[in-house]
């Protein structure tokens, strides 16, 4: 995802400045020197930088909104809800919780190690590279940065060249807010990304697709770098016969249509019990009309596909014979209507990979067991959504299905909950962030045992044989 040429809203290539390998190494050297100076270690410094980032989100909000409209057709309201507001909330929580996060956790060891006190000390990782995607270009570049700053790190942010207008604003915001030896932004295309991955970082944080994720993982392995991968997958939604269909319909279509479906945790396909299948589809069509009117192309809250290539890929997935609602496309404006496909088969093209667009294929199932069996045909999804009125259904799905995060009777909102670590499993990623998890993702927990000199047990030293009875009791 982040390594492709970026088009403008008109579909023509825009030149994005390239950063040469020598310049990248200069940035790394300056950041390493700054980190080793200890300047990032104090709570006061970290809080100051987090406040600066929060203020920058307000200062640049209008520029961010204009860029997101150019890249993705997002209006000002969506810009705040899905990008600016989330970063500000991350900053606010980090500032409030930072003292507690930084405090070493003390404990007592077993009696065999007494007298002593154990400590778990959070330590910043050092040099971090954050590679962001194009679908939520500002939020997914800067939310991980909050964790890096809170944990006392230095970082380079690489925004996606695909969302070119947003990339330019991110670079301007970072340059205006931070000293480059602390936080820097590097823009560019494939050559720049290749240079960045060729050098060593203490931690690589990548959000994007699994194909590029493998490239990043290989680069991390070459340098024994810590690695966080936030990927994607076909995130299923299940609706049982006991669900509140009116509420489910609205929440499913909200999750599918947000950002024109270009959301890694959007409902990718729908499995609905046969007895409520027709009623749910009717209610979902009604919900879309309530959101966007009779013609979503005229609705300011409905976005556009990022570029011509993705538009063409998504449009080809629409089987005209299976369209229940929507299906309209306009290549000139990269508009694809919210689309529901019914009577979809598991072997259809739309079921073979993540859609990443506003198409929702629907498959009727006889029961929950059949739904779970269908889900298990795909790799571990990043998200799962279950709509049901039965706790036993909830328990069955949570016990049997492996997925990153999800909701019961809702969609998307797990991403905005600071109490829920956000991350995938297996094919959908490794590691997690948000809230407390962001701090720990960018920290190493250093274990330290502080021993007392008040007395020194002789049984700790050879010869051991005469004390083995006592040693066994103390250890085991």
Q: Which residues are catalytic?
A: 230, 264
Contact 126, 153 (CB under 8 A): yes
The whole-angstrom separation of Cα 256 and Cα 262 is 9
The whole-angstrom separation of Cα 197 and Cα 46 is 27
Widest Cα–Cα separation across the chain = 88
The whole-angstrom separation of Cα 438 and Cα 95 is 13
Among the listed residues 312, 323, 319, the one whose alpha carbon sits nearest the alpha carbon of residue 350: 319
Question: How is residue 173 written in tokens?
Answer: 């915001």
Burial bucket for residue 298 (CB in 10 Å: 0-12, 13-18, 19+): exposed
- The count of residues in the chain is 476
Among the listed residues 435, 433, 445, 3, the one whose alpha carbon sits nearest the alpha carbon of residue 228: 433
Cross-strand bridge partners of residue 117: 450
The whole-angstrom separation of Cα 336 and Cα 312 is 10
Q: Compute how many other C-beta atoms are within 10 angstroms of the C-beta atom of residue 391.
A: 9
Contact 340, 326 (CB under 8 A): yes
The whole-angstrom separation of Cα 206 and Cα 228 is 6
Among the listed residues 34, 36, 32, the one whose alpha carbon sits nearest the alpha carbon of residue 201: 32
The whole-angstrom separation of Cα 142 and Cα 386 is 30
Contact 269, 344 (CB under 8 A): yes
Residues contacting 147, CB < 8 A, separation 6+: 90, 94, 433, 437, 438, 439, 441, 442
Cis peptide before 463 (omega within 30 of 0): yes
Cis peptide before 115 (omega within 30 of 0): yes
Chain CA centroid to CA 175, Å: 24
Alpha helices in 199-276 (DSSP H): 210-223, 245-257
């Amino acid at each position: 995802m982040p390594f492709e040429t970026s088009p403008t809203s008109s579909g023509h290539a825009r030149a994005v400045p390239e950063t040469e390998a020598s310049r990248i190494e200069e940035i790394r050297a300056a950041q390493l020197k700054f980190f080793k100076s200890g300047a990032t270690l104090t709570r006061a410094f970290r809080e100051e930088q987090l406040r600066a980032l929060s203020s920058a989100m307000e200062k640049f909000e209008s520029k961010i909104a204009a860029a997101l409209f150019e890249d993705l057709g997002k209006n000002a309201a969506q810009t705040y809800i899905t990008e600016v507001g989330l970063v500000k909330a991350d900053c606010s929580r980090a500032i409030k919780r930072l003292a507690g996060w930084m405090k070493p956790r003390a404990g007592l060891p077993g009696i065999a190690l007494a007298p002593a006190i154990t400590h778990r000390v959070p330590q910043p990782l050092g040099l971090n590279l954050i590679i962001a995607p194009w679908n939520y270009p500002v939020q997914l570049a800067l939310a991980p940065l909050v964790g890096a700053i809170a944990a006392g790190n230095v970082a380079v942010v690489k925004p996606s060249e695909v969302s070119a207008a947003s990339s330019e604003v991110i670079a301007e915001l970072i340059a205006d807010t931070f000293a480059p030896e602390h936080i820097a932004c590097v823009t560019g295309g494939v050559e720049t990304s290749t240079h960045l991955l060729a050098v060593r970082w203490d931690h690589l944080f990548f959000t994007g697709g699994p194909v590029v994720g493998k490239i990043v993982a290989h680069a991390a392995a070459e340098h024994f770098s810590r690695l966080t991968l936030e990927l994607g997958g076909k995130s299923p939604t299940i609706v049982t016969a006991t669900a509140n269909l009116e509420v489910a319909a609205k929440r499913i279509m909200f999750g599918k249509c947000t950002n024109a479906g270009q959301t890694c945790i959007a409902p990718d396909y729908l499995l609905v019990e046969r007895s409520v299948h027709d009623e749910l589809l009717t209610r979902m069509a009604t919900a879309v009309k309530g959101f966007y009117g009779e013609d979503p192309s005229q609705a300011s809250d409905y976005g556009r596909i990022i570029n011509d290539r993705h538009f063409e890929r998504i449009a080809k997935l629409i089987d005209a014979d299976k369209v229940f609602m929507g299906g309209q496309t306009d290549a000139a404006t990269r508009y694809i209507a919210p689309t529901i496909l019914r009577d979809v088969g598991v072997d259809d093209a739309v079921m073979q990979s993540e859609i990443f667009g506003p198409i929702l294929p629907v498959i009727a199932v006889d029961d929950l067991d059949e739904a779970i069996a269908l889900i298990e045909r795909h790799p571990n999804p990043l998200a799962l959504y279950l709509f049901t009125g039965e706790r036993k259904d909830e328990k069955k799905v949570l016990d049997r299905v492996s997925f990153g995060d999800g909701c019961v009777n809702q969609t998307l909102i797990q991403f905005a909950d600071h109490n829920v670590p956000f991350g995938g499993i297996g094919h959908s990623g490794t590691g997690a962030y948000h809230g407390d998890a962001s701090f720990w993702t960018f920290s190493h927990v250093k274990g330290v045992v502080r021993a007392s000199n008040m007395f020194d047990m002789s049984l700790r030293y050879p010869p051991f044989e005469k004390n083995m009875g006592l040693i066994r009791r103390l250890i085991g």
